[in-house]
Amino acid sequence: MEPQKALLSGFERVLDNESSRHSLGFEVHRKDRENVEGMLHKAPTKDLCDFLRVEGVLDKNCAIRGSPSYWVTERTIQPEGKTVQALCLVGNRRHTEEGRRRLARDTRGALEGYIEASLNGASARGIGMGPFKKDQDWLESL
């Protein structure tokens, strides 16, 4: 099933989570009075291990990695005007601003591709592109 647009209240999206695929990844952090538009993926229970493995939470044996990229937590979200409980991935490998800049400079090409793919995905699904463009501008300024 296609992912659907959803709103997560009380969080912000930040490009500062360590990623083994593209140096930095988007993650969410608690922040009162902020909202994050994103995608709700309906992963059948039988596919949950594979999904969480791709996201860096579980290892190949479906056990929690020593230091997972994300923590899984249950949150209230709002897809298409409804309110539902869902699992949410909250970043676990946050970088300092200097560490974030260094990683971005060292892996610029991979990070540019990741941000561009995120922008395209947001555009295709009607998610506000402002935060992604802000990170694209930040990367170009380095």
> Sorting pLDDT into bands at 50, 70 and 90, what band is 19?
confident
- CB 91 within 8 Å of CB 12: no
Task: For residue 9, give its domain range.
Answer: 4-141
Give the pLDDT of residue 140: 95
Please give the full DSSP string across 88-124, using - where no structure is assigned. Answer: EEEE--B--HHHHHHHHHHTHHHHHHHHHHHHHHHHH
pLDDT at 113: 94
Q: Are strands 4-19 and 70-79 parallel, antiparallel or unpaired?
A: antiparallel
- Listed in sequence order, the residues at least 6 apart from 58 whose beta carbon sits closer than 8 Å to its beta carbon are 49, 52, 64, 65, 68
Interhelix angle 130-141/108-124, rounded to 10 degrees, is 160
List the structure tokens of 51.
């999904």
Predicted pLDDT of residue 133: 95
Residue 104 pLDDT grade (very low, low, confident, very high; cuts 50, 70, 90): very high
**Mean pLDDT over each residue of the chain, to the nearest integer:** 89
State the pLDDT confidence band at 1, using cuts at 50, 70 and 90: low
pLDDT reported for residue 28:
92
pLDDT at residue 20 greater than cutoff 80 = no
pLDDT of residue 8: 94
The CATH number of residue 116's host domain is 3.10.490
Mean pLDDT confidence for 71-98: 89
> How many separate domains does the chain show?
1
pLDDT tens, position by position, 37-52: 998 888 788 888 998 8
